[in-house]
Structure 1
């Protein structure tokens, strides 16, 4: 065919390239390398017309005038071809043909590599390059994204399915009118503002704390955590998982802030009174820190919500294809403790003066971890110590 080198056998029995036909018999067509890369040299004709047959003598298209694409001669030739096409093809056929060839040229151009000078959060905030949870683990390591996204790697189609499911639920809720729809709608509006303009977000929250505290925290945050995988649009905070063992010491440097004063961390095992919500419990840490900023005046650039994902025992989440966390049962015993140990060592190695608040851990782990760390690190457990102080 026209894409292969023809070989013939010489007098010595060795293959040699076939002789080319004389110039007078060859079509007047310029040949350029295609965009495809292979161990063989592959060539295609620089023409906007599709191949009709494999043999170059079967190509039913007018010859191209000499001159590289983009030059005056090449542009004049393309213009004459375009005029002849308009005369010979119906409008619909012409449109389809030009669209087909333009796609081919654009595809060839897009195969050129792009040098990316951004890393970490800058990529996640750039709509041109951000792929969200579709980044593979290799890409996350290479681009400084490990820990900045939920641990689950989902496909682009799953992201679309999540968005469409969210849209359909909104339509259904508008018809049926459940009691929490209005509160969730308020939360979404506030969350979008948080993504766009953090200064304005906290100004609105401070000036209207009585009205919006129940939206950013209890009771609305419970519904947010239950539906977090469907509501997820942009990552906030950091995620450490069982798959990050041995990597946490380097992962903490993916967070852009050099100073962090307050961390709220949860493992999602006992979110409010809703039970095990897995990685979706990150919503409780985000909401708690929003209250600390708005009501206590903590610098919003120095707070960090954290999720430690060690799996979930929630069977519904284990079967949900859109779930953002590890779809495996929770770690227990010494394996669990080793992960928390590594996390505490990592965050205090980078931010020695940070305060870590443990939030919504199962009771058996809440008491054990409090006794394990209270004399070594600046930490406290909200459910054990603060609740007791409130009642006292």
Structure 2
């Protein structure tokens, strides 16, 4: 692994260099131009079969030549429309068809929009991704957080066309053969969940596959992963949700969740099956309850190309935001290990962030045991039972390193189980970080206590999803703490207009800034595993993406509208780190020796040239 000075050099020179690389990569001609998009595609379907295939269907965009060639003349209205005209027509229909479903505080028509987009996905996949990419800021919250939570809660009623695969406890002993039921010989990306902890909504059983589908939509839209090479997967090991167990319309196994070795055996069999058929696939674990999230991550990460987005992706996005907060406070980066951080929440996401932040601080302090011990002392962790100390009984092993010493906190006027407001009042933290899944946890009393922070510009990270689970809204934060607070959330919120020309920026610390780039960079590097260094490189890249002018305004995350450019940069950083750690093995025609010769600008170009774009291809029929 490269040394820490290279990993953590977020000086102004690095940031300028990143922006220079982006400019050069965008302006220079591509050295790796592909011609695949210009070649006709041979199909063995025609007539109505083509129109019923979402991958090949173009709707009214079929040219007259194609209509004659594919026996489509008369099956479509005579006017040949461009893809731009199709999108305009779809957008017009969308506005007309929206109903007052009152699904959420930000968009009352969210679920209605999801249904309409889903129907488009069913009939014309290329156009679906064109619409999604062109309107990513508006539709990312529809296909992903926060609307995906509503989708999962209502999935049994929304289910129409099957997507993805389902591996269940009833399939034990059959997974190695059933994996060949999926028609694609090449799968690059799998997102898998067991439905046990969907966002902050808890156990939703088999309905949790909506999470896997939504994440992979973003892999296609943000990272340019070919949609024919993605696979959403649900591992159904039962559910402990009483409502689902009693629901006659529930589509999953209506039995209690497997536990212990039985559970692990099912996941083991699944992992062996998918990596046997697709040895180079990348598997992203999503929304597993914390007791399994860490255990499965440690069990598989050294053997397979996999990562856990809740543990590692959330941690990376949070680290990038924390480093951005240091910059916004006009402090040198070396001050990060001095930041006092109160963390609300000790689930998989909270503990993932804690471990990543501790490692980052420790490396900045010298990468020694003493350094890591010093870093540990900067965190105060509060869960549902209050402040976690060494007196806590039955403590989660992952939380043990962050349990506070009783004598030490006694001098601060605190004790085991102290409330969040007491901890904030006594610690006076620089950062209040929420990963609790408890909406409104940062009450007015807690925010008032944060006024006593020793920082001139305290930061609030209300990271829990979906929207209703955010620990506080930007309106809450800015109304109590004033314009100078730095605010970030996991779900999207609107900026706060103070009416005097000043804006309170609502940053969205969304995992979609990182996981598409981590997956794409791993794929294009051919790395054998996903290392801590690769994850760290991704977080650094995101932290460096913002200009000094932006962070001083309190903008610590970029707009979602730039997601494809962000993903390209993150993927390039991951590839570069994989090469330097000697993990990369190359991808397709790009041999590792050729990959090693590329400059940073060329790596960015290489990434861009391997990102799929939703363009209609000329179709040519071939008889069997």
Residue 292 in structure 1 maps to residue 210 in structure 2: no
CA shift for structure 1 position 182: 1.1
Distance 1:325 1:361, change over 3 A: same
Task: Measure how far apart 1:389 and its partner are.
Answer: 1.4
Per the alignment, residue 353 of structure 1 pairs with: 280
1:338 matched to 2:244? The reply is no
Once the two structures are superposed, the pairs formed by residues 1-392 of structure 1 within 5 Å of their partners are 177=102, 179=104, 182-392=109-319
Contact 2:195 2:209 in 1 (8 A): yes
Distance 2:130 2:211 in 1: 21
Structure possessing the higher radius of gyration over alpha carbons: 1
Higher RCO structure, 1 or 2 (CA under 8 Å, sep 6+) = 2
Q: 2 CA distance for matches of 1:251 and 1:368?
A: 26
Contact 2:110-2:142 within 8 A present in 1 as well: yes
**Alpha-carbon shift at residue 176 of structure 1 (Å):** 7.8
State the alpha-carbon separation in 2 of the partners of residues 328 and 222 from structure 1: 23
The answer to whether the 8 Å contact 2:99/2:109 transfers is no
1:144 maps to none
1:174 deviates by: 6.3
Is the CA contact 2:100–2:109 (under 8 Å) kept in the aligned structure 1?
Answer: no
Deviation at 1:323, TM superposition (A): 0.4
SS in 2 for 1:313: coil
Shift of the alpha carbon at 1:390?
Answer: 1.4
Query: Which secondary structure does the structure 2 equivalent of 1:204 belong to?
Result: helix
Partner of 2:157: helix, strand, or coil? Answer: helix
SS of the residue 1:293 aligns to: helix
Residue 360 of structure 1 aligns to a residue whose secondary structure is: coil
Query: In the aligned structure 1, how far is the partner of 2:99 from the partner of 2:251?
Result: 26
Determine the C-alpha separation between the residues in 1 that align with 2:151 and 2:182.
24
Shift of residue 212, structure 1, vs aligned partner: 0.5
Could you say if the C-alpha distance between residues 327 and 181 of structure 1 is closer, same or farther in structure 2, counting changes exceeding 3 Å?
farther
After TM superposition, the score normalised by the length of structure 2 is 0.35
The separation in 2 between residues aligned to 1:352 and 1:227, in whole angstroms, is 34
Q: Over residues 357-376 of structure 1, what are the superposed CA-to-partner deviations in whole Å (9 max), with x where a residue is unaligned?
A: 00000001000001100111
> What is the CA deviation profile of residues 239-293 of structure 1, one whole-angstrom value per residue up to 9, with x for unaligned ones?
0000000000001100000000000000000000000000000000000000110
3-state DSSP of counterpart to 1:356: strand
C-alpha distance 293-331 of structure 1, shift in aligned 2 (>3 A): same
Q: Which runs of 5+ in 1 are unaligned?
A: 1-121, 127-172
Once the two structures are superposed, residues 64-89 of structure 1 have per-residue CA deviations (whole angstroms, 9 ceiling, x without a partner) of xxxxxxxxxxxxxxxxxxxxxxxxxx
Please report how far the alpha carbon of residue 218 of structure 1 lies from its aligned counterpart in structure 2 after TM superposition: 0.5
Q: Secondary structure at the match of 2:166?
A: strand
Shift of 1:198: 0.5
Count of residues in Structure 1 that have an aligned counterpart in Structure 2: 223
How far is the alpha carbon of 1:387 from its aligned partner? 1.2
- Tell me the SS of whatever aligns to 1:308: strand
Query: 1:383, CA displacement in angstroms?
Result: 0.7
> For the structure 1 residues 385 and 319, does the alpha-carbon distance in structure 2 shift closer, same or farther, using more than 3 Å as the test?
same
Counterpart-to-counterpart distance in 2, 1:175 and 1:214: 17
Looking at structure 2, the residues matched to 233 and 302 of structure 1 have their Cα atoms a distance apart, in angstroms, of 21
2: CA distance, partners of 1:292 / 1:263: 10
Could you state the TM-score of these two structures normalised by the residue count of structure 1? 0.55
Alignment correspondent of 1:30: none
How far off is 1:379 after superposition? Answer: 0.5
SS class of match (2:109): helix
Aligned-pair CA distance for 1:177 = 4.8
Alpha-carbon separation, structure 2, partners of 1:285 and 1:306: 7
Q: State the SS of the aligned residue for 1:329.
A: coil
